């Protein structure tokens, strides 16, 4: 019996989660589901988007399935706190960042493939370092004295008042780079992909780029059967759009990987198709890429990404055949275009499209509404 913590979250996250979850029983997965609290409502009411009770639930689970969470800028976050909490000087930290950093989920895995079966037959994966890079938490306004002293060494910045400067640091460690690069090459090996590309900006970020390059090439030498190359991240974005079929695994630091994975989702057809996994040595959580999308809540959101995310979760837990059934079912429902959501040109609700996918998983055909 596998234990899954289910965190429906905000917006369409809850809708697609509840619509897709029945596929686990339909595929006879021996699973125990435990539902937990996460998201904006709990920030507003409790001052914490991940209550302690939810952390306990996650610790007891084999994996966590997350619908989506809403994050807002600091000003809005404070303004929307319950009355007495506004005086506590609480700082909102995205639950996504909390999960990734506290559980040390260093690898964000975002597979991209031709789900519509149109155009080139691409199958690549963006692997994003989750805990370091430009999203490591060193984001300042105004800069602290230590950074201010560094700025003082450059004449161009020396005379600018500190309240007119903001600063973010791109933190990369040898440990962090080695494990994400090794993860990328191992993933390529397991998925029978012949190419691993580091997407970076070494022609501009010369010191940190050279540091990453040296480690990447060292790890690559252990995988002589795989082609390893380093490309500028902007060039990768261009060639993903033009020739996605040429790529295998693309590995990148946090922000670059964030951007490229959304490019990949666009190539697939949109965020409504894009699944993701966040993995570490001991734990993992799985979520669709689309986010909470509050503007389309209760407007028949496409559940495909959640089904494919559940497929990633099952594959991770050793249920590869069932994961493949889900992938083939989603592809078939989209191809037939009978029971699809509005973004695919149909008029089916989230629940109706989900039912069609589940029917394909179990019977090989979608039954009438």
How many structural domains are present in the chain?
A: 3
Structure confidence at residue 366 (pLDDT): 64
Which SS3 state, helix, strand or coil, does residue 88 take? coil
Lowest mean pLDDT: which of 56-70, 107-121, 342-356? Answer: 107-121
Predicted local distance difference test score (pLDDT) of residue 359: 96
- Residues 135-192: tens digit of each pLDDT: 888 999 999 999 988 888 888 888 899 899 999 999 999 999 999 999 999 999 999 9
Q: Model's pTM, two decimal places?
A: 0.90
Domain final residue, candidates 223, 249, 279: 279
* Distance from C-alpha of 171 to C-alpha of 364, rounded to nearest angstrom: 49
Band (294; pLDDT cuts 50, 70, 90) = confident
What's the whole-number mean pLDDT along residues 65-80?
92
Instruction: Kindly report which listed range (4-13, 66-75, 239-248) carries the lowest average pLDDT score.
Output: 66-75
Nearest to 336 by CA among 365, 308, 306, 301: 365
Check if the beta carbon of residue 83 is closer than 8 Å to that of residue 247.
no
Regarding whether 203 and 118 lie in a shared domain, the answer is yes
Cβ atoms of residues 9 and 39 within 8 Å: yes
Of 249, 279, 309, the domain-final residue: 279
Angstrom distance (rounded) from CA 111 to CA 113: 7
- Same domain assignment for residues 113 and 258: yes
Same domain, 129 and 234: yes
pLDDT category at 297 given cuts 50, 70, 90 is confident
- The verdict on 348 and 335 lying in the same domain is yes
Asked if 304 contacts 275 with a C-beta cutoff of 8 angstroms, the reply is no
Instruction: Tell whether 122 and 241 lie within a shared domain.
Output: yes
Arithmetic mean of pLDDT over the chain:
93
Q: Which residue has the higher pLDDT, 347 or 87?
A: 347
Q: Residue 44 sits in a domain of what CATH number?
A: 3.40.718.10
Look at residue 364 and tell me whether its pLDDT is greater than 80: no
Q: Are 326 and 106 in contact (CB under 8 A)?
A: no
More confident call, 228 vs 138 = 228
Contact (Cβ atoms closer than 8 angstroms) between residue 246 and residue 238: no
Q: Do 123 and 144 have their domain in common?
A: no
- Asked if 122 and 253 sit in the same domain, the reply is yes
pLDDT digits (tens, 9 = 90+) for 257-269: 999 999 999 999 8
Instruction: Check pLDDT > 70 for residue 119.
Output: yes
Clarify whether residues 80 and 222 are in a common domain.
Answer: no
Q: Among the listed ranges 26-35, 70-79, 218-227, which one has the minimum average pLDDT value?
A: 70-79
Task: Tell me which of 279, 295, 329 is where a domain ends.
Answer: 279
Determine the pLDDT at residue 316. Answer: 94
Q: Which domain holds residue 76?
A: 1-105+280-368
Q: Which of 133-142, 210-219, 242-251, 292-301 has the lowest mean pLDDT?
A: 292-301
Instruction: Check the CA dihedral 58-62-65-66 and report its sign.
Output: positive
Q: pLDDT confidence of 300, banded at 50, 70, 90?
A: confident
pLDDT class for 352, splitting at 50, 70, 90? Answer: very high
Residue 367: predicted pLDDT:
65
* Maximum mean pLDDT: which of 109-118, 141-150, 350-359: 350-359
User: Is the domain of 132 the same as that of 246?
Assistant: yes
Q: How far apart, in Å, are the Cα atoms of 352 and each of 84, 109, 341?
A: 43, 28, 9
Per-residue pLDDT, 194: 97
Both 164 and 124 in a single domain?
no
Domain match, 273 and 125 both: yes
Per-residue pLDDT tens for 305-344? Answer: 999 999 999 999 999 999 999 999 999 999 998 999 988 8
Residues 259 and 322 in one domain: no
């Amino acid at each position: 019996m596998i234990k899954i913590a289910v965190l429906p979250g905000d917006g369409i996250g809850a809708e697609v989660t509840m619509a897709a979850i029945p596929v686990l029983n339909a595929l006879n997965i021996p699973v125990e589901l435990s539902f937990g609290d996460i998201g904006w409502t709990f920030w507003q009411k409790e001052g914490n988007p991940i209550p302690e009770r939810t952390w306990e639930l996650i610790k007891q689970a084999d994996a966590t399935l997350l619908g989506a969470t809403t994050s807002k800028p600091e000003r809005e976050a404070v303004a929307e706190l319950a009355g007495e909490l506004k005086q506590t000087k609480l700082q909102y930290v995205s639950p996504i960042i909390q999960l990734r950093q506290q559980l040390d989920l260093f690898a964000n895995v975002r597979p991209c493939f031709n789900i519509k079966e149109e155009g080139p037959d691409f199958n690549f994966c963006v692997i994003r370092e989750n805990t370091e890079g430009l999203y490591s938490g060193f984001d300042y306004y105004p800069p602290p004295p230590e950074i201010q002293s560094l700025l003082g060494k450059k004449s161009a910045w020396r005379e600018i008042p500190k309240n007119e400067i903001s600063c973010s640091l791109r933190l990369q460690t040898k440990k962090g780079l080695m494990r994400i690069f090794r993860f990328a090459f191992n993933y390529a090996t397991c998925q029978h992909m012949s190419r691993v590309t580091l997407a970076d900006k070494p022609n501009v970020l010369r010191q940190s780029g050279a540091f990453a390059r040296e480690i990447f090439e060292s790890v690559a030498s252990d995988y002589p059967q795989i082609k390893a190359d380093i490309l500028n991240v902007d060039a990768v974005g261009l060639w993903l759009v033009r020739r996605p079929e040429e790529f295998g695994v693309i590995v990148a630091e946090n922000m670059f990987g964030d951007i490229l994975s959304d490019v990949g989702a666009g190539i697939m057809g949109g965020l409504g198709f894009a699944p993701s996994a966040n993995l570490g040595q001991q734990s993992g959580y799985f979520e669709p890429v689309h986010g909470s999308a509050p503007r389309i809540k209760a407007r028949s959101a496409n559940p495909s990404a959640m089904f494919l995310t559940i497929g990633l979760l099952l594959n991770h837990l050793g249920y590869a055949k069932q994961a493949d059934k889900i992938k083939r079912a989603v592809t078939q429902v989209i191809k037939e275009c009978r029971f699809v959501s509005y973004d695919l040109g149909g008029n089916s609700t989230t629940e109706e499209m989900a039912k069609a996918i589940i029917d394909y998983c179990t019977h090989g055909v979608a039954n009438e509404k």
